[in-house]
Amino acid sequence: MILFERTVSLEIEKAYSELKTFLLKKGGNISAEEPPRQISIKHGSLHGVSPKSAKKLVIYHLFPNKSGTRIVSYSSISSDWAKLTLAGNIIAGFVAAIFWWIASDIASLVVDGVTGYWSWLARAFGFPDLQYVFFMINVTKALSIVLVVTIILEILDVLIVYRKINTFAEETLDILAEKKEM
């Protein structure tokens, strides 16, 4: 969980009302609330890849303050988003390994003349075709490399999302802080 704090110049009931309205407009689903002291929302989606769009839980605690209301927020990644991301990377790694195995197996057919488990992929009309063999080697290696690069990019994305998960809460509280008591 990442902590962020902001003081707004609104009384606690007004701050709570404005915060709740804004969160609902931004697509937040209220998971728990204790008006006017606390509100918890689920925001984002499983398909989100940025800190603002990734599925998360954000909890806002409101405290009366002499200058208005102090709001403290906690943000955390949703466990299902984290599990889906991990499962996707594991599956991609497994498929990349299979593609590399296929390429190596077919390459051994060319180099050593030894047929392996995947040698049947190098046959065109029942006979080994040299052009087709090299095509299959190159395609399966390329697919494997693309998957490995995708895994690396996904890991970088996860690191960014975890590091900046509080972006949505910060922006919400910054906008709320701009509002003045009427």
Q: How far apart are CA 9 and CA 22, in angstroms?
A: 16
The predicted structure's pLDDT at residue 182: 46
User: What's the pTM?
Assistant: 0.80
Question: What average pLDDT does the segment 72-92 reach?
Answer: 95
Cis peptide before 51 (omega within 30 of 0): no
Sheet strand arrangement including 2-8 = 2-8, 68-77, 56-65, 38-43, 29-34
> Tokens for 149?
């690069």
pLDDT(88) > 60: yes
The predicted structure's pLDDT at residue 113: 77
pLDDT(128) > 80: no
Radius of gyration of the chain (CA): 26
